[in-house]
Amino acid sequence: MGARLARAPSRHWPLHRQRRLRRDQRRRGGAYYVRHVAIRLRAPDRTHPGWIYLCGRDIDPAKLPPALVSALRWLPNMRGEEGWLLSPFTDEVGTITALHITHITPQGELSQVEPRRIVNRGPANWGSSSLLRYESGIGSEFVVAEGLEDFLSVIFAGCRRAAGVGNVGAFGRVSLPLNVETVVIARDGDDPVTKRDADQALHRGIARYLGQKLAVRITATPIGMDPNDILRSAGADGLKALIGEAQPKLGRFKPTAFREELYRLDDLAWGWARKGAATLLMFRLRSSTRTAR
């Protein structure tokens, strides 16, 4: 990709340019700032800590699709010596609506200072339309994961249509393309006892995907691991196998959150979701079940 250094962040620009950017940001909203930053900066190259960080997670950017790598951005010296690795959230037509930011040390490691990851939001409705997206095919199956590293991992494993939602609570909040028939959730292996909130958020997301008239399959990710951990321990073939073996079941689980989200669906979405929900709950759902609620 050549040695291309990122442009300095706005706080290092001349004072008059900083003032103009802040004025425009107030007038046009966060969306202007997000797109302004994303357009001006350059993608990381092999010398940048962001590239080194991804390689350390067994995600070699040189082996990722060029279009995906060219969308990444690197900003140095944003929190002391730490830099930002940025990846754009986009809507269905490709407009940048937010930036996923990962704090990286000069040595190419994930920062140990919280917050280690943040989202620089654009328009107010970005969360209902935006994903970390990659599509290089037209298959009916779509793989979704949580964060940037998991998203890049499933692409590294050969998935041709994939997205990162940003966090576990965002599953199902964005409608997937209409030609998608099956969504595979490459879930994190959150312990249902120690990470109860995350586990229930996943169940709510499954209900929302069912309400989009989608067949839902969920990976059996080992507890304490995520898709990137599987990539690092079992390689791309191991992660590909985990995704391929995903099933429309969760085993034993407490269905409270799942059922609550199911009952929030409108009438049309409820009709679509009933069959898939019955498979997960292992009992038949009648129309009267929701009416009684």
Residue 74's φ and ψ, nearest 5 degrees, are -130, 130
pLDDT of 47 > 90? The answer is no
What are the angstrom distances between the C-alpha of 282 and each of 2, 92, 208, 253, 274? 55, 34, 18, 11, 12
Which has the closest alpha carbon to 280: 195, 217, 222?
217
Residue 102's φ and ψ, nearest 5 degrees, are -115, 125
Give the pLDDT mean for 119-135.
88
**Helix locations, the chain, DSSP H:** 15-28, 30-40, 49-56, 66-70, 148-156, 196-210, 227-244, 256-264, 267-281, 287-292
pLDDT of 12 > 70? The answer is no
**Tokens 């080194």, located at residue:** 52
Inter-axis angle of helices 196-210 and 267-281, nearest 10: 120
The amino acid sitting at 129 is S
Most confident of 34-48, 87-101, 109-123, 167-181: 167-181
Strand partners, 184: 143, 217
Which has the closest alpha carbon to 275: 287, 288, 261, 260?
287
Confidence band of 38 (pLDDT split at 50, 70, 90): low
For the entire predicted model, the pTM comes to 0.85
CB 265, CB 242: distance < 8 Å:
no
Query: What pLDDT score does 2 carry?
Result: 29
Give the pLDDT mean for 207-219.
97
Confidence band of 290 (pLDDT split at 50, 70, 90): low
β pairing state of 117-121 and 215-218: unpaired
The ranges assigned to domains in the chain are 1-126, 131-293
For 243, the 3-state DSSP assignment is helix
Task: Tell me how far apart the alpha carbons of residues 49 and 255 are, in angstroms, rounded to a whole number.
Answer: 43
| From the candidate CATH numbers 3.40.1360.10, 3.40.50.720, 3.40.390.30, 3.40.50.2020, the one assigned to the domain spanning 131-293 | 3.40.1360.10
Query: What pLDDT score does 35 carry?
Result: 59
pLDDT of 7 > 60? The answer is no
The amino acid sitting at 12 is H
Nearest-5° Cα angle at 120, 25 to 62:
120
pLDDT of 76 > 90? The answer is no
The amino acid sitting at 20 is R
Give the pLDDT mean for 101-130.
92
Confidence band of 126 (pLDDT split at 50, 70, 90): confident
pLDDT of 186 > 60? The answer is yes
Task: Tell me how far apart the alpha carbons of residues 152 and 60 are, in angstroms, rounded to a whole number.
Answer: 10
The amino acid sitting at 57 is R
CB 178, CB 244: distance < 8 Å:
no
Confidence band of 6 (pLDDT split at 50, 70, 90): very low
Which has the closest alpha carbon to 204: 142, 256, 246, 279?
256
